[in-house]
Structures are given as C-alpha cells and as structure tokens.
Amino acid sequence: MPPIAAYFGGDENRKTRKSSGGEWRSHEPPRVDGLYGVRQTDNDGTMKSIKGATLALMVMVFVGRAEPLQIMTVSGPVAVGEVGVVLSHEHVLVDFVGASEAGPHRYEVDAVVAKAEPFIREAQARGVELMIEATPQFLGRDPRVLLALRERTGMQFITNTGLYGAVRDKFLPDYAWTDSAEQLAVRWVEEANSGIMHTGVKPGFMKLAVDSQRELSEVDAKLVRAGALAHRETGLTIAVHTGRGANLAQLDILAEEGVAASAWVWVHAQNVEVSNILAAAERGAWLSFDGVRPRSLDRHVEVILAMREAGYLNQVLISHDAGWYDPAEPEGGEYRGHVLLFDELIPRLKEAGLTAAEIERLVRHNPLEAFAVRKRLLE
C-alpha cells in the first residue's frame, strides 16, 4: 500500500470518475458532491453550498470544457488527474543577496541537487508527487536544479515567472521601475509561451511579492496589475507573497482588469486576523497557510478550522515554505525538510475532526485546482 493511503483511507476508496473537466482519479467520499465539491455535508448531516472560489470556477471554467485540466511542470504539461499529493509552496534554492548580484555564478547546480535530494526523497516517502517551487527570478530561480532533481528522484516540480517586490524592493531589477505594467506582462507572457531563458522550461504560475505595508506602493501595484494582464493571456495563477500586507486592494486591481479572485493566491496568510482571511475567501481567493513549523502548528490548526467552519475549506492551501539552500552559507546552510505537515499537522487536523476526504482536499484537490492553467475571468 503506498504511503498516501495512510492519510486518505486506502486504495480501496480510489476510483476514476468523469466530469466536464475530464477524468479525475480520486478518493470519492460521501461528503463531496461533484468534481471539486460544490456541496458538502454539515456535521448534522444536512447539505450546504460551499462558497467562494469553487462555485465560481465551476461556472466560469468547467462549463463546456472538453479537455482535462492541466498543470505546467518543468517537464511539460500534466493532467491534474495524474497527480497525487502536492506541496503548494516550497523552496529548493533561495539566494538573498539581491537582484544586482544574484545569479547562477554563485552556486554549483550539482551541489544544490546533492543537498536537496535526500529531503525530496523524504517527502516522496510521505506520498508527495509534486512540489510547487516558489523561488522567483532574482532570488535563485533555476529550472536546471529542478530538472536535475526531477531526473534523479522522479518528483514533479512547477516553477514560476514574475517579480518579487517585498523586502523594500531589494530583489527588483532596474527594468521593474521603468517598464509599464503592460511591458512587464509581456515579459512574463513570453516566458510562459517560450520558456525560461535557454532551458525551454515553461513556468506553471506567477510568483509576485508586495511589501508588508497597509497600502500598495506604486511599484507593487504595478506588479499586481502586470500579473492580472499576464493572466488574461496565459491563464497562470497569480501567487503573491503578501503576509500582513495589502490584500483586498490586490483583488480590486484584478477586478479592474477583469480577472477573478480565484486566479489569486494570498501567500503567507496564516498569521493574519481571521476576519481578513474570511473577507478574501468570500471574494473567491485562495488562502495559503504555508510556513508550517513546530511552533506554528496550533495557529495552522486554528485558521484551517476557521475556514472549515465558514465553508471555505475548499480554498485552503497548506505547505512548509521550507528547503532553502542558501549560496551565502557554507554548503548551502541548514536545509529544512518538507515532511512536518504529514508527521505533525495532519495528525492534529484529524484529531480536530477533519475527515480523510477533507485532508485529501487540502493536499491534493485544492492545490491542483488552484494551479491548473486556465483563464479565470469575470464576465
């Protein structure tokens, strides 16, 4: 029996089903009605509608769709039905030196791969089949590393396009200040269509970042608008390092450009007031409760339960935000693994009452739905 069965109740519950989105190999529990769970059962057995992103996606995306949904991995497109457990926000390599100095001259690919490989295999032993690698350009994004790890381990990876505007713009190149939002979008669309530099690897989402201030700076607002424009052309999800920074303002910019909130992921949302989290969920956004660490477990359980109680569990993403080979440190420094979620958080969630189907939703269905490549536009 594969390791994943321990979380979801065994292979006997797996089946193949068809929908307007194609085939989806999945556990199909009584609580879920429809491909992504348009309805779910309350604890008292009554049915209630799930709010937010899923219903909007069913209306905007699945009606009339003839082809199965796909993600774009470093190895090419993969149907979502072919993927099991996903970690939605991890890092293999991160270089904090700044945009003016960052580059592949600061590390050896083979050294990074050798350091990361045992941790990738450790995650595979927990059933992980796909890691969404969130290191952006000018912070150490390197498709060569991910291709090598894919070749050595079999793990699937998704990389990204976009720019990182947090940390007082330390990681922004000069052109981020002079380009318009339209010009930035052209750069990201080009990578989506033609691949990243000479590698041919296409990004599977956009990774942006804004500063933690209450209002968006001019350059951060431009990045978000560029992301919306690029989404209209590519269908790539827009994952934004936001934390306690301006959040609903980003959704306003997306709406101005005709892009639905379901195309946006609020990265590092776990430490924000629950009322703010729910306000974004109400508009249809994805909430990424990453940063799983021993000291964060109580908080992660709290916010996940709050989303479940409000009917938004189908918009939750969970991951470690871990790894981090650092070229500035001897031998890459301390590499934090990718398994605490399975060893500690999931058991706590099960103790708190989450069912096997709900756990599967968190680590399989939700991230695959969030990062499937398709345009999510307002009518």
pLDDT value, residue 379: 85
Rounded Cα–Cα distance for residues 163 and 243 (Å):
16
Asked if residue 55 has pLDDT above 60, the reply is: no
CATH 3.20.20.140 fits 18-371, yes or no: yes
Rounded Cα–Cα distance for residues 217 and 211 (Å):
8
- No. of H helices and E strands in the chain? 15, 16
Listed in sequence order, the DSSP H helices in the chain are 5-8, 53-57, 109-125, 143-153, 166-169, 175-178, 181-194, 218-234, 248-256, 274-282, 297-310, 340, 346-351, 356-360, 366-371
Q: What is the pLDDT of residues 181-209, one digit of tens each?
A: 999 999 999 999 999 999 999 999 999 99
Classify each residue of 351-375 as buried b or exposed e, where b means 16 or more C-beta atoms within 10 Å of its C-beta.
eeebbbbbbbbbbbbbbbbbbbbbb
Rounded Cα–Cα distance for residues 379 and 370 (Å):
20
Here the tokens at position 188 are 């990201």
pTM (2 decimals)?
0.86
Higher-pLDDT residue of 47 and 97 is 97
| pLDDT interval class at 4 (50, 70, 90) | low
Mean pLDDT of 311-317: 98
Q: Give me the percent of the chain exceeding a pLDDT of 70.
A: 83
Here the tokens at position 204 are 């599977």
Higher-pLDDT residue of 191 and 51 is 191
Q: Where are the domains of the chain?
A: 18-371
| pLDDT interval class at 28 (50, 70, 90) | very low
Mean pLDDT of 49-53: 43
Higher-pLDDT residue of 91 and 28 is 91
Mean pLDDT of 350-365: 98
